[in-house]
Structure 1
Amino acid sequence: MPTRVAERIAEVRIVPKCDCYVIEVIYEKTEQFLAPNEKIAAIDLGIDNLMAVTSNQPDFIPLLINGRPLKSLNQFYNQRRAKLQSLLKGNRQSSQRIRRLTRCRNQKVDDYLHQASR
């Protein structure tokens, strides 16, 4: 996290997650408006192909983002969660291991989507 920022801090939130806390820092930033032009981009969201990006510009190279790693990660998560839930006693729905598994899965999904957006 940067220690010096040019923008003014508007809000700081401490959000409880499964087994940890997340600190969210919200900045106020002035918007920069761009002049309208005829550059248009389109994004098609899907499962196997997470994103297909194209544009009407002749020099733009179409982009295809693979979604299968996310499907695989989710399948692994569902299998592990089912196995861990079967080991629980009584009517319990969750445990420390399940919460940790969920947090790790969510972090991996966020990381993959962040890398795909770059």
Structure 2
Amino acid sequence: MAISKRSLQKGLIHLFRTDLYIPTKIDPSKVQFVRIVPKNGVIVVKVGYRETLPDLKQDCRRIAALDLGVNNLAVCSSNVMDPLVIDGKYLKSVNQRSNKALAASRSYEEKQHGRKNSPKIQAIFLRRNNRISDYLHKASRYLVNQFVFNQIDTVIIGHNPGWKQDTNIGKRNNQNFCQIPFNVFIRMLEYKCRMAGIQVILCEESYTSKCSFLDDEECRKQQTYKGKRIHRGLYKSQNGKLINADQNGSLNILKKALLTLGQWNRLMYQQCLDRNEKAALIRYNVPRS
């Protein structure tokens, strides 16, 4: 859609033949397009702009790996920075409250009006999606800021095609997994890392949660695994050492990706042990809107 260049110079995006003015801090010369998209009963205005991207770092020496999940949205382990976890329970509560409200509204609409949709139902969807999107943006921004602060050059994210979106792990767990848009979160991390000059690698994550990183166990199907999960969220190695279960998974993701790239060695393994055996897991609660 065409926009007024005169209004753009004043810090306003003005769509021709409308009374719509949108404040913006974007450099007018960078604005490329404006799109209007109807969504859940509202109009979404998308503004595209041109950005100069820095060159990607190619060293692959300062590395961070992410294991994504539900209770812990993301657990980050590294060979150079302390491990940290992004809390994911808020997203679960948003989904649970929204599902309860949707069930009540749909039941009412079907009984009273014989329909499954209404402005109220669309408003519930919109509110839930906005809250989830806001939370994921803040979480991804915090992570990328930490990567930049610690001079990380490579981020590895555990991922499988179709992963955690069409699983069958029980009604309640299915609902939690399928309503958290992990692929959207990954795309947010990818473009924010790209703007910071950090390369992102997606790693197939099978067996990373079962195998023991502390015992240097190969990430593949084993007849007997060296370690085991003894409590929810706690993993015990063969020699009795304890580590957060998701932290163990993220370290194995890091190891698996570097083995594929031919850059895994004993020095890297020792650096990961030193950083993750002694340091306390930092829990970050994302500010809520």
Which residue in the other structure is 1:108 paired with?
Answer: 131
Q: CA RMSD in A?
A: 1.5
Which residue in the other structure is 1:87 paired with?
Answer: 108
Runs (5+) with no aligned partner, structure 1: none
Greater Cα radius of gyration, structure 1 or 2: 2
Which of the pair is proportionally richer in helix?
2
Which residue, 75, 90, 93 being the options, matches 1:72? 93
Q: TM-score, normalised by structure 1?
A: 0.88
Which of the pair is proportionally richer in strand?
1
Instruction: State which drifts further: 28-37 or 94-103.
Output: 28-37
| Residue-by-residue CA offset, 1:12-68 (whole Å, 9 max, x unaligned) | 1011111211111111222210342211110100011100011111xx121101111
AA aligned to 2:126 is R
The structure 1 segments of at least 4 consecutive aligned residues displaced by more than 3 Å after TM superposition are none
* 1:94–1:41 Cα change, 3 Å: same
Cα displacement (A) at 1:6: 6.2
Q: TM-score, normalised by structure 2?
A: 0.38
| Residue-by-residue CA offset, 1:83-103 (whole Å, 9 max, x unaligned) | 00000121x121010101111
* 1:30–1:80 Cα change, 3 Å: same
Query: Are 1:7 and 1:29, in contact at CA under 8 Å, matched by a contact in 2?
Result: no
Are 2:34 and 1:15 equivalent residues in the alignment?
no
Q: Percent identity?
A: 39
CA distance in 2, matches of 1:86, 1:4: 45
CA distance in 1, matches of 2:98, 2:26: 38
* 1:7–1:55 Cα change, 3 Å: farther
Which residue in the other structure is 1:49 paired with?
Answer: 72
Q: Higher relative CO (CA 8 A, sep ≥ 6), structure 1 or 2?
A: 2
Query: Are 1:10 and 1:28, in contact at CA under 8 Å, matched by a contact in 2?
Result: yes
- SS where residue 56 of structure 2 aligns? coil
Alignment length, in residue pairs?
Answer: 115
Runs (5+) with no aligned partner, structure 2: 1-22, 143-289
Cα displacement (A) at 1:74: 0.2
